[in-house]
Structure 1
Amino acid sequence: MTIGTQLQQAIASAQSVSASLKTFALETQDQQAKQMFNQLAQNMDNTISALQARLNYVSTEEPQYKQQ
């Protein structure tokens, strides 16, 4: 398994976590919990952006991604 593939899997997992946290925030009536879930979702979205940037970089470096 390549680093690119592993990054893609990590991004998909992180997106799933982010979606779950956003759902929790919508479903709770507790304002403190809602704020916590929203903050955690924002942190996860930032992580997704960082992983995506790394995947974009790796895509230019790994030979199997280069255009023939």
Structure 2
Amino acid sequence: MPVDKKLRATLATLEGIAADFTVSYLETSDAQTKQMFEQLSTQTNSVIRKLKGRIEDIEEEEPQYREGNK
């Protein structure tokens, strides 16, 4: 699997995980558990932002990886 596809697959997985953390946060009533899910969601979203930046860098460096070129 090409690097760009691996990164996009990882990004999709992370976005799903972040969504799961958000749903879990909303569904729990325990304050400590809510705080844990909020922190996990924040950390995961930080990783997502960094990965999106890396994908953009790769697309700039390697034009064949741009989504529109597929």
TM-score (norm 1): 0.90
Unaligned residue ranges in structure 1 (runs of 5+): none
Cα distance in 2 for partners of 1:33, 1:65 equals: 40
Count of aligned pairs between the two proteins: 67
Matched with 2:22 is 22
Unaligned residue ranges in structure 2 (runs of 5+): none
- Cα-Cα RMSD: 1.5
Q: Per chain length, whose mean CA-contact separation is higher, i.e. which structure has more relative contact order (CA < 8 Å, sep 6+)?
A: 1
Matched with 1:57 is 57
State the Cα distance separating 1:62 from its structure 2 match. 2.1
Matched with 1:43 is 43
Cα distance in 1 for partners of 2:31, 2:63 equals: 49
Map Cα deviations across residues 13-57 of structure 1 (whole Å, 9 max, x no partner): 000000000000000010000000010000000000000000000
4+ long deviations beyond 4 Å = none
State the Cα distance separating 1:63 from its structure 2 match. 4.6
What amino acid is the match of 1:57? D
